[in-house]
Structures are given as C-alpha cells and as structure tokens.
Amino acid sequence: MDARCWTMLVMAVAVGLMIGWDVYVAFFNRIPNRVDTISGIMLGWAQQIWTLPFAFGVLGGHLFWPALAGPVFGAVWSIPVLLALAILIGVTGWWYRRKNIGWVAQGPLLVITGVLLGHWLWPQ
C-alpha cells in the first residue's frame, strides 16, 4: 500500500473514532449533559480561546475552497490585509464584550474570517 492509501485509512479511522466516541458520550453517558461530548468541549474552549474558531475557519478555507490561481501569500498587500483583519477581529471582540452580545455573534464572525484567509492566503 502506498502513502496515500495509508493516509486515507488513518483519516477514516480517526474520524470514525471521534464520531463514535461523541455519540457514545452523548447517548450512553451516566451524566445527562452535552458538555462531555467532543463538540461540547470544543465549544467551551472556543468561547475562551478566540483563535480556535479562527484556526478551524482557516483550515476549512484551505481544505474546501480550492484556489483559482496560485497562492497570494507573497503578494505585497497580504501583510496589510492580515494586520487589518487582526485589528478588526480584536476591535470587534472588544465591542462584542462591551455590548455583552456574547458568543452567538462572535464565533461565526471568527470562522468566516478564517475561511476567507484560509482561501486567500493558503489555498490548495
């Protein structure tokens, strides 16, 4: 078997184990809550660490939005765009916390921003 087949096998086993464990904990756990599931733990972490949803967005943009041309990371405007987005995310997060809007609005903004950056700066 070549490396591609082994990689696909490892990916399938890892995804199957994660889904199986999440279903097991959600339905057969003695404590009836969803906080013990992988998704519940990830949501709790994401609410405390804003880079987590942003990183998942970047990964999603990289994996699932193919490039029409080559990567643009070397472009002159990429550094100002990254700095502007970092400032926008920081200011928006501060504003959300100040207005007590909460995670419902902030999480999707971070993921969408990450998807755009993952596509523009790290395309397949």
Report the distance separating Cα 57 and Cα 68, nearest Å. Answer: 19
Provide the pLDDT for residue 77: 65
Instruction: Render 30-44 in DSSP notation, one character per residue.
Output: SS--STTSHHHHHHH
Which residue, 117, 32, 16, is CA-closest to 73?
117
pLDDT category at 124 given cuts 50, 70, 90 is confident
Helix (H) or strand (E) holding 6: helix 3-28
Q: Six-digit token pair at 110? A: 């971070």
> What average pLDDT does range 6-26 have in this prediction?
93
Provide the pLDDT for residue 71: 54
Sequence-distant (≥ 6) Cβ neighbours of residue 17 within 8 angstroms: none
Report the distance separating Cα 83 and Cα 77, nearest Å. Answer: 10
Provide the pLDDT for residue 86: 72
Provide the pLDDT for residue 16: 97
- What confidence tens digit (pLDDT) does each residue in 32-68 have? 666 788 888 888 888 877 788 888 998 998 888 877 6
Domain boundaries of the chain, sorted by first residue: 1-42, 49-124
